[in-house]
């Protein structure tokens, strides 16, 4: 059996009640493995939030362990023995005073997901998704990935003792290809994008019983990612920021944060105006931004997707309509930045604040600067940039090498 999170307080239970389709309203029982709704939409977990509101005060969270399982009541895993954990969540929320001054943002923050197991926030989704699969008796998993999800799910599947088949683009970051292999996933590369990997995984599904764990094709990954929203609120003492900037590929994290805001309101944990949710994509793959600008409810498949921010290379997201709703309903916006801006922002943040973030997180930093310059943000707005992963996973993006000294050499000018 896998180790479980120690219960430090009274036994906790999940208030999970059912699954619901956000498009057609269909309701399904939550205690069998499920993929998408009959109408093709992702399914979302619903909880008995009235009972949770009566049974759980936010102050009760204070003494709990520093990982995402502190929110067990609003997570879908019912049996603590099914929890598969590597210590994910409860990541640092860091002020960025020096960078903020430079951008003209007095209250700029970084939620640093690079501190998660496997180095990205994909660990949150994998921890909850794999735990729930284990709990529901799933015997094997399959998924396409742009890279980091494959690495994370491979690690958690290994910890759960579940076999996993994963397919990713041939040019996914080297670390993603290797971390999946190292942790024992049955790993394949395709000369194409995540959408091509998805087609291969779907064909494999026709002759395999392995459960389809692709982005938003099962309802539990998003439950892990929504805990970023809970943490931002709790770490700010339940005072919400004015905006959260999120680098979106499939958009699971932003839909999850939006869902967390709705749940926390129903729980009576937060009040007042919701943060504006801002989506950033790369110029070379901007289907959500285009849809937002056109006023459309859904995105078009983006042809020829290309960006060095591999996690953003998702030409069409299953949950696009939910991302667009989240952005519009909160008065947010969507914008695209260039790869050059991403690389600049990565270097700037590293030098100014000591944080070496992934290119996706750097895109969100670049967006903060742009939105201040355009007047979308005021100087005193509290803005949170979500850094989705550590820059340590992308060493190939840094080409500068320090000068070599002769053994009897001297440091210049010293």
Ligand X SMILES: *Cc1c(COP(=O)(O)O)cnc(C)c1O
Which region among 11-19, 23-31, 57-65, 283-291 touches Zn ion (by CB under 5 A)? 23-31
Q: How far is the CB of 216 from Zn ion (least distance, A)?
A: 13
Task: Select the residue interacting with ligand X from 122, 177, 313, 372 (CB under 6 A).
Answer: 122
Helices vs strands, H then E, count in the chain? 12, 13
With CB atoms as reference, the residue minimizing the distance to ligand X is: 311
Residue 324 binds which entry of ligand X, Zn ion, none, CB below 5-8 Å type-dependent: none
Closer of 360 and 381 to ligand X (Cβ): 360
Closer of 37 and 228 to Zn ion (Cβ): 37
Which region among 132-140, 186-194, 247-255, 298-306 touches ligand X (by CB under 6 A)? 247-255
Q: How far is the CB of 17 from Zn ion (least distance, A)?
A: 17
23 lines the binding site for Zn ion (CB under 5 A): yes
289 lines the binding site for ligand X (CB under 6 A): no
Site string for ligand X, 297-326 (x = CB under 6 A): --------------x---------------
Q: How far is the CB of 18 from ligand X (least distance, A)?
A: 24
Contacts of 358 (CB under 8 A, 6+ apart): 114, 120, 309, 311, 387, 388, 389, 390, 391, 393, 394
Q: Other CB atoms closer than 10 Å to residue 191's CB: what's the count?
A: 8
Beta-sheet strands, E only, within 10-106? 16-20, 27-28, 44-47, 93-95
388 lines the binding site for ligand X (CB under 6 A): yes
Q: How far is the CB of 255 from Zn ion (least distance, A)?
A: 15
Closer of 139 and 392 to ligand X (Cβ): 392
Return d(Cα 287, Cα 301) in angstroms, integer. Answer: 7
- Residue entry with tokens 């094709």: 217
Task: Select the residue interacting with ligand X from 89, 150, 241, 251 (CB under 6 A).
Answer: 251
Long-range own/partner contacts, residues 190-197 (CB < 8 A, 24 or more apart): 193/146, 193/169, 193/305, 193/313, 193/315, 194/144, 194/145, 194/146, 194/168, 194/169, 194/313, 194/314, 194/315, 195/144, 195/301, 195/314, 195/315, 195/316, 196/169, 197/144, 197/145, 197/167, 197/168, 197/169
21 lines the binding site for Zn ion (CB under 5 A): yes
Residues in binding contact with ligand X, number by CB under 6 A:
17
Return d(Cα 297, Cα 295) in angstroms, integer. Answer: 7
148 lines the binding site for ligand X (CB under 6 A): yes
Contacts of 181 (CB under 8 A, 6+ apart): 187
Q: Give the binding site for Zn ion (CB under 5 A).
A: 21, 23-24, 26, 37, 39, 41
Q: Give the binding site for ligand X (CB under 6 A).
A: 120, 122, 148-149, 215, 247-253, 311, 358, 360, 388-389
């Amino acid at each position: 059996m896998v180790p479980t999170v120690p219960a430090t307080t009274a036994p906790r239970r999940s208030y999970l009640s059912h699954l619901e389709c956000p498009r057609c309203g269909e309701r399904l029982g939550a205690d069998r493995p499920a993929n998408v709704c009959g109408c093709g939409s992702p399914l979302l977990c619903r909880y008995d939030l009235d009972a949770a509101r009566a049974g759980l005060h936010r102050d009760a969270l204070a003494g709990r362990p520093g990982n995402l399982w502190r929110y067990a009541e609003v997570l879908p895993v019912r049996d603590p023995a099914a929890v598969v954990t590597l210590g994910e969540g409860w990541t640092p929320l860091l002020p960025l005073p020096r960078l903020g001054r430079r951008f003209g943002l007095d209250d700029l923050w970084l939620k640093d997901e690079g501190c998660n197991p496997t180095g990205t926030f994909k660990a949150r989704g994998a921890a909850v998704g794999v735990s729930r699969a284990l709990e529901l008796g799933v015997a094997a998993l399959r998924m396409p990935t742009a890279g980091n999800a494959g690495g994370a799910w491979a690690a958690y599947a290994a910890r759960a003792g579940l076999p996993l088949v994963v397919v990713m683009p041939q040019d996914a970051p080297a670390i993603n290809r290797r971390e999946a292999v190292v942790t024992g996933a049955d790993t394949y590369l395709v000369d194409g994008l995540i959408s091509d990997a998805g087609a291969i995984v779907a064909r494999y599904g026709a002759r395999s019983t392995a459960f389809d764990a692709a982005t938003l094709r099962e309802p539990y990954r998003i439950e892990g990612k929504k805990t970023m929203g809970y943490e931002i609120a709790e770490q700010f003492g339940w005072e919400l920021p004015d905006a959260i900037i999120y680098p979106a590929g499939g958009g699971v994290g932003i839909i999850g944060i939006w869902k967390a805001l709705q749940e926390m309101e129903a729980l009576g944990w937060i009040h007042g105006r919701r943060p504006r949710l801002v989506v950033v994509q790369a110029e070379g793959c901007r289907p959500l931004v285009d849809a937002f600008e056109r006023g459309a409810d859904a995105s078009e498949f983006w042809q020829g997707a290309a960006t060095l921010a591999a996690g953003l290379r998702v030409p069409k997201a299953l949950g696009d309509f939910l991302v667009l709703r989240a952005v519009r309903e909160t008065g947010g916006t969507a914008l695209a930045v260039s790869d050059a801006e991403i690389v600049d922002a990565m270097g700037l943040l590293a030098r100014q604040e000591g944080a070496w973030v992934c290119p996706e997180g750097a895109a969100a930093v670049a967006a903060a600067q742009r939105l201040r310059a355009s007047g979308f943000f005021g100087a005193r707005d509290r803005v949170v940039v979500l850094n989705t992963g550590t820059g340590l996973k992308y060493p190939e993006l840094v080409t500068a090498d320090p000068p070599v000294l002769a053994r009897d050499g001297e440091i210049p000018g010293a």
